[in-house]
């Protein structure tokens, strides 16, 4: 199949919801000529003129000309993206720089093209149109099952980076998904450097940024369509932004709304967080039913976590919500588990041993509970997950014991 045939197929697929915006009339005509007569694109000399003609809720692909590649104009673009989340924005520029790309992505632009030819522009329009269709009108056949009772939110937090928070969160979520009959979600709230999607080889087509951009339109069906599925476990994943700069687009109201919607169709929501107290993290901790506090077996980590526990108590966080998980446990380390428990005023729910199976699984991008199912690390995480699952009846418990003995 040659390029002209492929291009013809794309032209037939693209809907009429395409708009071109450029202040320079000659440049506007050139972009319209590139799209061709087969794409019914409306042309506008300003964003305000476009805004007046928009039908509420109707998805439209908007191609912005080079005039909107400067900082002052991108502020207007960001305003449009926030007030009209049903729009998919593409920016065409004369020259693409890292600064322009970052500012455009921060403003809500989905794609930036530098002097594109006709094929490149058409494919960009089609990609954005496909995303809009997925986000705005997901299939009714894929509608999530709404739960009668709100799902439980389990937030995993550490006061020191590198303590293994993401490892605990991802493996806990995978274990819950494999053992629960309901839907389990993993929300990556490390908005600048979240990596659970990479750890699980999850699809990065959408992220929490898309969910936040939906604003008041966010409902269970739309949110589910934005989430990636971890096929080996059935876990639903809402990844962190792909660029640190995009973290600025997520506010406390956004995460609160996302949690509320997740509760309607998920039995458990596991949240991975960064090692800091900010407005978003505090909102998540306040919204949680349970908080898993992760600490290593070294003095700096324990000291930081003690300060975090003190802060949570000052915020009137019930002690009953706090669960201590100690990681990297090693008999050669001088600190004793009981000493740490006394220092924190919390009893460890599980102690995860130091084991090479963890870095091995990370390099494979496979959860350790799947990659090393018989390891002590996996048994510790399964014990943690069991604390959040209904106790099995006696018959199931007996059958499981018999199977374990046979194994």
pLDDT at 326: 92
**Tokens of residue 305, six digits:** 């976590």
Among 21-35, 82-96, 146-160, 385-399, the least confident range: 385-399
CA dist 220 and 236 (Å) reads 13
Q: Can you tell me the mean pLDDT for 52-75? A: 86
For the cut 80, the answer to whether the pLDDT of residue 205 exceeds it is: no
232-241: pLDDT as tens digits? 999 999 999 8
- Mean pLDDT, rounded, of the chain: 83
172 vs 15, more confident: 172
Q: Can you tell me the mean pLDDT for 119-136? A: 78
pLDDT band for position 215 (50/70/90)? confident
CATH code, 87? 3.40.50.2300
Same domain, 55 and 177: no
Domain's final residue, options 137, 170, 200: 137
Same domain, 230 and 270: yes
CA dist 172 and 194 (Å) reads 16
Q: Strands of 348-353's sheet, edge to edge?
A: 228-230, 235-238, 184-188, 268-272, 152-157, 290-295, 322-329, 348-353
Domain that holds residue 255: 152-389
- Whether 401 is covered by a domain: the verdict is no
Same domain, 181 and 326: yes
As beta bridge partners, residue 61 has 18, 88
CATH code, 289? 3.40.50.300
Counting residues of the chain whose pLDDT is more than 70, the rounded percentage is: 86
Same domain, 158 and 114: no
For the cut 60, the answer to whether the pLDDT of residue 375 exceeds it is: yes
Best CA proximity match to 109, nearest among 144, 69, 147, 145: 69
Same domain, 81 and 186: no
pLDDT at 214: 79
289 vs 106, more confident: 289
pLDDT at 330: 61
CA distances from residue 12 to 74, 122, 129, 274 in whole angstroms, order as listed: 31, 11, 13, 45
Same domain, 118 and 156: no
13-42: pLDDT as tens digits? 334 489 999 999 999 989 888 887 767 788
Same domain, 263 and 231: yes
For the cut 50, the answer to whether the pLDDT of residue 381 exceeds it is: yes
Domain's final residue, options 137, 162, 195: 137
For the cut 60, the answer to whether the pLDDT of residue 340 exceeds it is: yes
pLDDT at 283: 94
pLDDT at 7: 39
Number of helices (H), then strands (E), belonging to the chain: the values are: 18, 13
pLDDT at 183: 92
At which residue do the structure tokens 């269970």 appear? 220
Count Cβ neighbours within 10 Å for each residue of 194-228 and write b for 16 or more, e otherwise: bbbbebbebeeebbbbbbbbbeeebebbbbbbbbb
pLDDT band for position 158 (50/70/90)? very high
For the cut 60, the answer to whether the pLDDT of residue 5 exceeds it is: no
- Whether 400 is covered by a domain: the verdict is no
227-260: pLDDT as tens digits? 888 989 999 999 998 888 888 888 999 999 999 9
Indicate the number of domains in the chain.
Answer: 2
């Amino acid at each position: 199949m040659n390029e002209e045939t492929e291009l013809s197929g794309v032209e037939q697929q693209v809907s009429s919801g395409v708009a071109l915006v450029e202040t320079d009339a000659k440049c506007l005509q050139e972009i319209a000529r590139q799209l061709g007569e087969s794409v019914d694109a409306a042309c506008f000399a300003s964003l305000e003129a476009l805004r007046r003609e928009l039908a509420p809720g109707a998805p439209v692909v908007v191609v912005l000309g080079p005039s909107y590649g400067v900082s002052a104009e991108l502020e207007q673009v960001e305003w449009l993206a926030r007030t009209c989340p049903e729009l998919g924005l593409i920016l065409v520029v004369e020259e693409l720089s890292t600064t322009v790309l970052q500012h455009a992505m921060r403003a809500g632009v989905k794609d930036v093209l530098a002097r594109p030819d006709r094929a490149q522009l058409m494919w960009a329009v089609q990609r954005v149109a496909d995303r809009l269709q997925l986000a705005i009108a997901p299939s009714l056949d894929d509608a999530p099952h709404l739960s009668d009772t709100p799902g439980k939110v389990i937030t995993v937090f550490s006061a020191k980076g590198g303590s293994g928070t993401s490892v605990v969160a991802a493996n806990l979520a995978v274990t819950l998904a494999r053992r629960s009959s309901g839907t389990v979600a993993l929300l990556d709230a490390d908005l600048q450097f979240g990596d659970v999607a990479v750890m699980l080889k999850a699809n990065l087509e959408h992220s929490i940024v898309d969910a936040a951009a939906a604003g008041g339109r966010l409902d269970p069906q739309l949110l589910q369509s934005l989430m990636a599925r971890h096929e080996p476990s059935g876990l639903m994943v809402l990844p962190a932004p792909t660029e640190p700069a995009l973290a600025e687009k997520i506010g406390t109201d956004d995460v609160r709304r996302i949690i509320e919607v997740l509760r309607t169709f998920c039995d458990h929501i596991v949240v991975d967080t960064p090692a800091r107290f900010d407005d978003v993290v505090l909102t998540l901790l306040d919204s949680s039913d349970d908080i898993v506090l992760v600490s290593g077996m070294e003095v700096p980590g324990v000291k930081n976590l003690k300060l975090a526990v003190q802060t949570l108590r000052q915020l009137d966080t019930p002690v009953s919500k706090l669960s201590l998980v100690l990681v990297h446990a090693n008999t050669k380390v001088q600190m004793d588990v009981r000493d740490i428990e006394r220092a924190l005023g919390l009893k460890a729910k599980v102690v995860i041993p130091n084991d090479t199976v963890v870095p091995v699984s990370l390099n494979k991008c496979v959860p350790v509970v799947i990659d090393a199912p018989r390891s002590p690390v996996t048994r510790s995480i399964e014990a943690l997950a069991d604390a959040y699952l209904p106790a099995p009846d006696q018959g199931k418990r007996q059958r499981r014991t018999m199977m374990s003995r046979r194994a």
